[in-house]
Amino acid sequence: MHLLRYTFGLVALAGCMGAAATPAAAQLRPEIEAFIGEMVNRHGFNQAELESILVMAQFQPAILNAISQPATSRPWYEFRTLFVNPRRIAGGVAFWNSHAETLERARREFGIPEEIITAVIGVETLYGAQAGKHRVLDALTTLAFDYPKRAQFFRGELEQYLLLGKDQNADVLNIKGSYAGAIGIPQFMPSSYRRYAVDYDNDGRIDLSGSTTDAIGSVANYLKSHGWQMGEAVAVPALVNSENYRAALFTGNWPTYTVADLRTLGIASRVSMPGNPHATLIELENNGGNEYWLGFNNFFVITRYNRSVNYAMSVLELAKEIYAARNSSLR
């Protein structure tokens, strides 16, 4: 869905809604009316306009089911096979070959390796083939008002989505995305779309659904903005020889232990690491017992895209497989 091809607001809705707009607004729940009032006061939206839009949002029980059972909650040995497999590896090589100049440019300008950008897009949407089938308005409204666990977060994303529609003069009723409301080839949430998406093909608009070039530049900008350090390691295998290791397990925060600190907890890198970088312990559940890795700053940066350890490791491993497969094919 190309965001910029549509018109946001009552002008677009009037033809199909006519006189029904005012009585329909009375059907809105009090908490949605309160949200509309906040949008009017904070951003200068027209109240009738927002009522006409939000009355069209449809509650989707399937979205609540999906977010309550995310794929990332599976054990690593199951999750890995979903995203690090021959189809995604071959697709990644083809994607890299098709967009080699853009990926190289992004590496030069943002410092993000081609294989990492490719792997993020491969994990997110199978290189753009699976960008989502839910109306973003339905997804965000359902989660903002019927998912108490993260209602505040999704109300913020609904706010950003409506602002995105206003910014880009977009038809917010028809944009499709994931069950969580993520949009386009790289699956940016609306707040990330507004903050980190870039017009990388220089055509005067940002289009993460229709422009692979914009998607590549935006992923690179996102990772760079969150602190990616060019040339630094992401994660390396680790050895655990103590019962004290749990204190160092990844909790979603930036690593606070140094490699030297981890040694005192019985945790060591299986490969030689220069210096004394900060690291966190990653625990992955396998059939024959858990495996352990040390995750560094760049691993933490990948988790800013998705907080799941499984997600970040799948990006890293898919990137390695794509890199190896492509190099092999070029020999």
What element of type H or E holds 101? helix 100-110
CA-CA distance, 143 to 314, in Å (whole number)?
26
- For CA atoms 16, 21, 26, 29, the dihedral sign is positive
List CB contacts of 91: < 8 A, sequence separation 6 or more: 122, 126, 127
CA-CA distance, 315 to 303, in Å (whole number)?
10
Tokens of 154: 């999704």
Amino acid at 113: P
The answer to whether the beta carbons of residues 318 and 80 sit under 8 Å apart is no
The answer to whether the beta carbons of residues 14 and 53 sit under 8 Å apart is no
Tokens of 91: 């697709």
**CB-CB neighbours of 238 under 10 Å:** 23
Q: Does the annotation mark 283 as catalytic?
A: no
CA-CA distance, 168 to 32, in Å (whole number)?
23
The answer to whether the beta carbons of residues 284 and 293 sit under 8 Å apart is yes
The answer to whether the beta carbons of residues 274 and 228 sit under 8 Å apart is no
The answer to whether the beta carbons of residues 310 and 72 sit under 8 Å apart is yes
Catalytic pick from 114, 124, 157, 159? Answer: 124
List CB contacts of 108: < 8 A, sequence separation 6 or more: none
Tokens of 85: 């497999």
Cite the active site residues: 124
